[in-house]
Structure 1
Amino acid sequence: MTRTTLLFTAASAVLALSTITPASAQTITNATQIKSGTYAVEPAHTQIGFSVLHFGFTNYFGAFSNASGALELNAQTPTLSRLSVTIPVASVQTTSSKLTDELKGPQWFDTAKFPNATFVSTSVKMVGQNTATINGNLTLHGVTKPVTLNVHFVGAGVNPMDKKYTTGFDATSTINRSDFGIKTYVPYVSDSVTLRIAGAFEKQD
C-alpha cells in the first residue's frame, strides 16, 4: 500500500466516524426520561462478572456471557417494572483455561446438570433519581434464593450503530455460594461472591 493510499484510507475512516453523533450528545442520563416498554437483553454488551477472594491473596475475577431475557420497563411507575434474565453457566470464562474447565465440572457449577442460572424480579424500589434496588429470586446450581441487586441507570438513547433504542444499567450484589450448594474450597476460596453486572437492553416495541 502506497503512502498516498494509506493517507486516503485513514482520512476516509475519520470522515466516516465523524458522521456518528457522540453518545454523550444523544443519550439521556435521567431515569425518568427512559422510554417505557418491552426490552430484550442485548447479549453482546451485557456482562456478568464475579469475584472471590482467593486464599486471602487476591480477588480473582471471572465472567459469564450470552445472557438473554426481558425487561418490562415502566419509567413513570418503576415499581411496575419486571426483569427476567437467563445466563448459560457454561459460558463462564477466567484467565486460566484449566480453571474455566474445572468450574464447569461437578465440583463447581456442574453445567451438564444445571446449564442455566436465572434471575426473576419480585419487586423494584427507587432509592434515588437514577438508583434502585431490585429484589428477586436467583436460581443457580438447582437452588433458588432471594437476591437483591443494587442498580444504577447509566444512559439511554438510539444506538448510532444499529439505530436501536437502547438503555443500560450497572448492578452489584453479593451472594454466598454455599447457599447454592457450591462449597468447594470454602473458606480458602471465599464463600462470599461479588457480582458486577453491566446490562444493555434494546426496546422491542
Structure 2
Amino acid sequence: MNRLLGTACVLPPALAFAAAFAMSTSLPAQDSETPRPKVAASPPGRPDSSLVSGGLYKADPDHTLVEWSVDHLGFSPYFGLFGDVTGTLHLEPQRPEQARVAVTIPVSSVTVVSPGLKQHLLKPPRTEGGKPDFFGPAPEDARFVSTMVRTTGEDQAEMTGNLTLNGITNPVTLDVRFHGAGTMPKAMGGGEVIGFEATGTFKRSDFGMDFSIPLVSDRVDLRIAAAFIKDTGDNPSGEN
C-alpha cells in the first residue's frame, strides 16, 4: 500500500485522483442469474487427418480467404484480399490424388485498405474501347478448377488447376497443406469441417494486367486459407 501511495504522489493530480478512485471503488457484482458461457476445453478442429471423412464438401465463404501480394516500387510488399469464396471439394482420404476442387472468387469485392487503390483496381478503361489498368468496373468472377493433385509429403500436396481471371485462363500450381478437421459445435452450425492452407504464384501479365510493370511487380504471390463444410444435402453432382 505504501508503494502504491508513493506512486500516486508523483502522478499529476488528475491521474492521482483517478488512481485513488479506482482503488476505492469496488467492481459491480455479476448477476448470479446470468450463466457464464461455457468455453470448450480445446478447439473442435485438430491437425489429425484421421478425422477427415470422404464425400462432397462446400466452401465456407465466411472463413475462406485469398490473399494476393505484389512488390510495390521495390519498397514494400502490398497485399489485398478476396473473400466470399464459393465452390466444392470432392475428397476421398484414401485417394487424395483424386481430390477435385472448383471454386469461384468474386473479384468485384476485392478488399484493400486504400479507398483510392480500390477505385483504381475497378477503374474503367482510360479510353473508349481500351482495356482497364487492372480489373475494370464490372469484372467477371475468377474461377479455379483443379486438374491434378500430387502428394508431396505427409498431409501435403501439389495441386494444379486452371485459373480464369480477367477472362483469361492459365494453369496455376498451388502447394497445399492440410490444417485441421473436426466437427463444428451445434451452436455454431454443426457439421464436419476440413481446412487447408495453400500458397502459389502467377504473373499478372499472363492475365492481361501489365499496367505499371516493373514498378509494381508482375509476380503475384498467393496465400490461401480455405475451409470446407461437409455437404449433407441431396446434391450428388456437387455442382455449384
- Asked if these proteins are the same fold (TM beyond 0.5), I'd say yes
Partner SS, residue 153 of structure 2: coil
Residue identity matched to 1:133: E
**Contiguous gaps of at least 5 residues in structure 2:** 1-25, 124-131, 233-240
**Relative to structure 1, is the Cα distance of residues 111 and 130 closer, same or farther in structure 2, using a 3 angstrom cutoff?**
farther
* Separation of aligned partners in 1, 2:147 and 2:59: 18
Residue 28 of structure 2: aligned partner: 4
Partner SS, residue 158 of structure 2: strand
- Which of 165, 170, 178 aligns to 1:145? It is 170
Number of paired residues? 196
Residue 133 (structure 1) aligned with residue 158 (structure 2): yes
Partner SS, residue 189 of structure 1: coil
Residue 110 of structure 1: aligned partner: 136
Could you state the TM-score of these two structures normalised by the residue count of structure 2?
Answer: 0.77
- Which of 90, 93, 107 aligns to 1:75? It is 93
CA-based RMSD: 1.8
Partner SS, residue 116 of structure 2: helix
Q: Which has the larger radius of gyration?
A: 2
Residue 184 (structure 1) aligned with residue 211 (structure 2): yes
Q: Give 1:99 deviation, angstroms.
A: 0.4
* Separation of aligned partners in 1, 2:213 and 2:49: 40
- Sequence identity (%): 41
Q: Give 1:163 deviation, angstroms.
A: 1.6
Residue 16 (structure 1) aligned with residue 26 (structure 2): no
Residue 197 (structure 1) aligned with residue 221 (structure 2): no
Residue 87 of structure 1: aligned partner: 105
- Which of 188, 201, 206 aligns to 1:174? It is 201
Residue 97 of structure 1: aligned partner: 115
Question: Which runs of structure 2 are paired with 1:21-100 in the superposition (5 Å)?
Answer: 21-23=41-43, 26-100=44-118
Stretches (4+) displaced over 4 A: none
Partner SS, residue 16 of structure 1: coil
Partner SS, residue 144 of structure 1: strand
Partner SS, residue 206 of structure 2: helix
**Contiguous gaps of at least 5 residues in structure 1:** none
Counterpart contact for 1:30–1:130, Cα < 8 Å: no
Q: Give 1:30 deviation, angstroms.
A: 3.2
Q: Give 1:8 deviation, angstroms.
A: 3.2
Residue identity matched to 1:4: P
Residue 164 of structure 1: aligned partner: 191
CA offsets, 1:39-64, max 9 Å, x none? 00001111100110000000001011
Counterpart contact for 2:51–2:182, Cα < 8 Å: no
